[in-house]
Amino acid sequence: MSLKRNAYEKLYSGFLSKFPEDYAINLGRSFLRFPIEFLGRYETDDGRLLTKIGNCELPNLVILSACYHEPHIIKKAMRLGFGGVTLKVTKYPKKGNREPTIVRRGEGFVNCVGFENLGMEGYKKFLKSHRRKKPIILNITGDNKNEYLDVVSGLENYADMFELNISCPNTENGMNFSKYPEKVKDLFRESRNLTEKPIIIKLSPDKEFEENNYKRIIPYAVDSGIDVVNFGNTRSFKDERLSIGSGGLSGPNLYENVLMNVERIYDKFGRYLKIIATGGIDSPEKAYEAIVRGATCVSYVTGFVTKGPFLAKGINKHLSEKLDEQGMESIGDLVGFWHTP
């Protein structure tokens, strides 16, 4: 492990993790205002890691998953070695739930942040003026189909990819599309008609939606011409410390289930779609394993907080070494490698 990654982990486990969560998270957010991009080199220049999703090219396959809504964090993340970064957005501005909205649980978090964000109009200026260092994925949540569609059409010229979040465990309507999958048919078809940019469907890892995912949601996505899924979101979790008594669990506890599902989706639907693996990926080895089981990209949030800004670089370095070991020309050759007969 690199010295810098090690130093951050010590800082986190010895210092930041001792503060109350909200305080630690705000400290982390303030930390991102410092010019940490000058602490070292974050980017990979290994051209073999270049990854294509539809008509979008990412310099590498590591994505910062949906969590942040602040333009300054998104800008900063673009300089921290990621291949793409995700910005969450709803049609109208939202304040999110009242505090406390995030608590620690094991090595991860349970959050009920809700969707604090500026709303689609509030991001236009930033998205337009901003010189793109990396592709931006807009993670959209809505209370109904039209709210999703309005964001897709309103920000069509501003995004590189769209992600439809149909699996949020911490708002009233967040799970409606996962619970009643017939509703997603129109959402998927109509979104697809509005844009040629890649659309990602973000799935729930909750056991109760497993059957819906495999029998309805993924097949409907494929039928609509949508060819990327993200497995997945946080897992529904009760925690009385949170203002609304429950939220979504993130972090290492999700990882084994993510691997199982990546493998299963790849086996069943790998010919039709690409998979983003999300949930508990916080080391280069875990990222590698998700890829050889079938993930085209990996993404994370919790690892960014607990393992620090050098994790993406560490993952990319590890993947380059694996390509050398196998004598491979492109990261695409590693995707699903363990399935190859």
Ligand X SMILES: Cc1cc2nc3c(=O)[nH]c(=O)nc-3n(C[C@H](O)[C@H](O)[C@H](O)COP(=O)(O)O)c2cc1C
Residues lying near ligand X in the complex (CB under 6 A): 65-67, 88, 102, 109, 111, 113, 115, 139, 165, 202, 233-234, 250-251, 254, 278-281, 300-303
Nearest distance in Å: CB 45, ligand X: 26
Helix, coil or strand: residue 63: strand
Nearest distance in Å: CB 145, ligand X: 17
Taking the least distance from each CB to ligand X, the nearer of 228 and 301 is 301
How does strand 199-203 pair with strand 228-231?
parallel
Residue of 178, 200, 187 lying closest to 295 (CA atoms) = 200
Nearest distance in Å: CB 89, ligand X: 9
Taking the least distance from each CB to ligand X, the nearer of 158 and 231 is 231
Whether the upstream peptide bond of residue 308 has omega within 30° of 0, thus cis, is no
Beta bridge partners of 297: 276
Nearest distance in Å: CB 77, ligand X: 13
Helix, coil or strand: residue 145: helix
Taking the least distance from each CB to ligand X, the nearer of 198 and 323 is 198
Residue of 68, 55, 71 lying closest to 162 (CA atoms) = 55
Q: Which residue is it, tokens 């990412």?
A: 58
Taking the least distance from each CB to ligand X, the nearer of 8 and 115 is 115
Nearest distance in Å: CB 201, ligand X: 11
Report d(CA 191, CA 14) in Å as an integer.
46
Helix and strand numbers (H, E) in the chain are 13, 14
Taking the least distance from each CB to ligand X, the nearer of 91 and 202 is 202
